[in-house]
Amino acid sequence: MQDILTLLSFGPEGWGDEIASGVLVTVSLALATLPFGLFFGFLLALAKQSREPSVRLAAEIYTTIFRGLPELLTLFLVYFGLQIGIRQLLTLLGFEAAFEINSFVAGMIALGAVFTAFSSEVFLSAFRAIPNGQYEGGNALGLGRAQTMWTIILPQLIRIALPGLGNLWMILLKETALVSVIGLPDILRQAGIAARVSKEAFVFFGVACLLFLALAILSSIVIGAIERRVERSEIRV
């Protein structure tokens, strides 16, 4: 037991510092990806309702691709494929400068692309749950399309979409473990390094398991609090 406590301690003899930095990387990656995925998912949902067929088709193609591809393959395409593509483009333009994508940025782009595709479906379902009379009521009040969206539709959209988006956040939190394969020192990679060096795989992967569960429980508490706050705001209105 003492040996395990020593391995998990902070300082030169333990791996506590490395595991803690892995937690910070995991949470930072998830938080950095979330607004990116929400914003573009919302825009994608709007595109799917566009009156222009080409815009709807492009949105559907995007969603089909990134919902169909495995997340790990998407990560490899961004981290390796995008680097190669940009280097070739620079070569064609006459530049010989080396180009490399940061693993954190690659993870954010790849996970954000997938999150965008799934969140767009959540937003689209929420849009369809709002009666057309809400839009007509905004027009009757003399509100423009943007004002109607901001003051009438968006508050209802958030309330309806929140449970689905909460589930997507939990999935995103788990999928951050994939970035360990491209060298980002997240929870799983740091636990893997500690396990190989110390020969205590059960201990460190068990710690990684507990950390992800702790993040999931904390996320559930926060999401539940947000849902209750939104419901209370709805009742007061």
* pLDDT for res 48: 93
Residue 233 has what pLDDT?
64
Whether the Cβ atoms of residue 101 and residue 78 lie closer than 8 Å to each other: yes
Give domain limits for the chain: 2-236
State the CB neighbour count (10 A cutoff) for residue 180. Answer: 23
Cβ(42)–Cβ(151) below 8 Å: no
User: Average pLDDT of 76-84?
Assistant: 88
Mean pLDDT over the full length of the chain: 88
Q: Which residues contact 71 (CB under 8 A, 6 or more apart)?
A: 110, 111, 114, 175, 178
What percent of the chain is modeled with pLDDT above 90? 56
CA–CA distance, 171 with 165 (Å, rounded to integer) = 10
Q: Which residues contact 19 (CB under 8 A, 6 or more apart)?
A: 8, 187, 190, 191, 194, 204, 207, 208, 211
Please say if the pLDDT value at position 111 is more than 80: yes
Let me know: does 87 contact 48? Beta carbons within 8 Å. Answer: no
Measure Cα distances from 215 to 19, 88, 112, 209 in Å. Answer: 14, 41, 19, 10
d(CA 121, CA 171): 15
Query: Quick one: average pLDDT of 188-200?
Result: 90
CB 204 within 8 A of CB 194: yes
**pLDDT tens per residue across span 50-69:** 889 999 999 999 999 999 99
Give the mean model confidence (pLDDT) for residues 209-213.
95
Contact between residue 191 and residue 19 where contact means Cβ atoms under 8 Å apart: yes
Confidence of residue 235 (pLDDT cuts 50, 70, 90): low
> pLDDT tens across 126-165, in order?
988 888 777 777 777 777 777 777 777 888 888 899 999 9
CATH class of 2-236: mainly alpha
